[in-house]
Amino acid sequence: MRIACFLLVSLALAGCSRKPLPVFSQVPDFVLNTESGKPFVRQGLAGHVWVADFVFTNCEGPCPRMSSRMLAIQKQTPNSVKLVSFTVDPVRDTPEVLAQYAKHFNADSSRWSFLTGTPEVLNYLAHDVFKLGSVGAGLDHSTRFVLIDKKGRIRGYYGLSDGDAVARVTADASRLENES
């Protein structure tokens, strides 16, 4: 009887301890412009867990689904979790256009920022930092969300086609919120 109880307690405790999320890379400092036209610096995200994606406003493919999922993440995470949508079409996605897009998706401007800037900076972030492809004329981009911890480290990737991305990213964001 004691052995059976010990085994049950051991199994229960083992299920409670999950291994930490991997650390993929560090997000460097960057400066872009928000949908309100104000400068946005990566350091403003220090101390916050955040979720990033890459979209463009006149997309007729996956971008509206990505932004709808980002809205769900906004609703299902604490206010301390920030959301950042980078454009892959900086020529057309001006701050004014991004502001209308943000309004369409009921983005909470205190949490969710839509960023634009030079093609070079956005391409560097998409390709070299987040490893999601290139920003270019084809507007072909990843349909993955990226989870970043309070120290600016990439900790997870969540694709639209990988099951319930919203549930997974919100659960992992909560885990990171509790990390010291």
Q: Is the pLDDT of residue 108 over 80?
A: yes
Tens digits of per-residue pLDDT, 134-144? 666 555 667 88
Average pLDDT over residues 29-39: 95
Q: Is 2 part of a structural domain of the chain?
A: no
Containing domain of residue 74, as a range?
A: 22-177
Mean pLDDT over each residue of the chain, to the nearest integer = 85
Q: Is 173 part of a structural domain of the chain?
A: yes
Tens digits of per-residue pLDDT, 60-71? 778 888 898 999
pTM of the model: 0.85
Q: Is 8 part of a structural domain of the chain?
A: no
User: In sequence order, what are the residues at sequence separation of 6 or more whose Cβ sits closer than 8 angstroms to the Cβ of residue 49?
Assistant: 80, 81, 82, 147, 148, 149, 150, 173, 176, 177
Q: What is the CA radius of gyration of the chain?
A: 18
Q: Is 142 part of a structural domain of the chain?
A: yes
CATH number of residue 46's parent domain: 3.40.30.10
What is the count of structural domains for the chain? Answer: 1
- Coil, helix or strand at residue 100: helix
